Amino acid sequence: MARSKTSNAWLQEHVNDHYVHQAQKDGYRARAAYKLLEINEKDKLIKPGMWVADLGAAPGSWSQVAAKLVGNSGRVFALDILEMPFIPGVEFVQGDFREDAVLEQFTALLGGRQMDLVICDMAPNISGNAVTDQARSIYLCELALQFAQDHLKPGGNFLVKVFQGYGFNEYMAAMRETFASVVSRKPKASRDRSSEIYLLGKQKRA
């Protein structure tokens, strides 16, 4: 079957993508690693010894970055509906974040300890219907915020990918109620045409 013009353009862009080549060279599973690395360089989110939860982790590039930065004295807990091959220093649960049983299994891993940082690069499966996709995306972001509210220690931080559109302003307002400050980040590795933006909630209120 012939590829559509759109998929050909994507393939061409992907093949010529600096970050794709860099990821292959540096041993990261996806170009998304550089989004987290750039944000971390600016905001100093991940430090040795931290406990980090990575929601929507597969294929695992954010977990790779986090595990490297927290070192042997830290812990990284990852969750995704997709399979994720083993990463040293990362404990992984495969399952649907929207299901209570999966969330309970993931929470059990934490052993009652509160996280220093929650990161979430989750996105729904794209249906092609912009309204549906945005609603699904915001719903996942709301679940991630709820998780951060329940499992982040006071003063902890929360980094989440959000697509601008319906529900964005309300979501940002909800984050402002939970964190002392909320800033937006658009890393260079984020494609210009993408409406994705990263919101960083700093210092969870007690």
161 noted as active-site residue: yes
Q: Are 182 and 155 in contact (CB under 8 A)?
A: no
Q: Which residues contact 117 (CB under 8 A, 6 or more apart)?
A: 45, 46, 50, 51, 52, 53, 152, 156, 157, 158, 159
The torsion of the CA quartet 158, 161, 166, 169, rounded to 10 degrees, works out to 30
Q: Are 148 and 118 in contact (CB under 8 A)?
A: yes
Q: Is 121 annotated as a binding residue?
A: yes
Give CB contacts under 8 A, 24+ apart, made by 192-196.
195/163, 195/164, 195/165, 196/123, 196/161, 196/162, 196/163, 196/164
Q: Is 96 annotated as a binding residue?
A: yes
Q: Which two tokens stand for residue 185?
A: 């980040």
Q: Is 80 annotated as a binding residue?
A: yes
Q: Is 155 annotated as a binding residue?
A: no
Rounded alpha-carbon distances, angstroms, from residue 135 to 106, 145, 147, 191 = 24, 15, 18, 21
How many angstroms separate the CA atoms of 13 and 125, rounded? 21
How many angstroms separate the CA atoms of 36 and 146, rounded? 21
Q: Indicate which residue of 161, 186, 188, 204 is catalytic.
A: 161
Q: Is 133 annotated as a binding residue?
A: no
Annotated binding site: 60, 62, 80, 96, 121
Annotated binding site for S-adenosyl-L-methionine: 60, 62, 80, 96, 121
Catalytic positions, written as ranges: 161
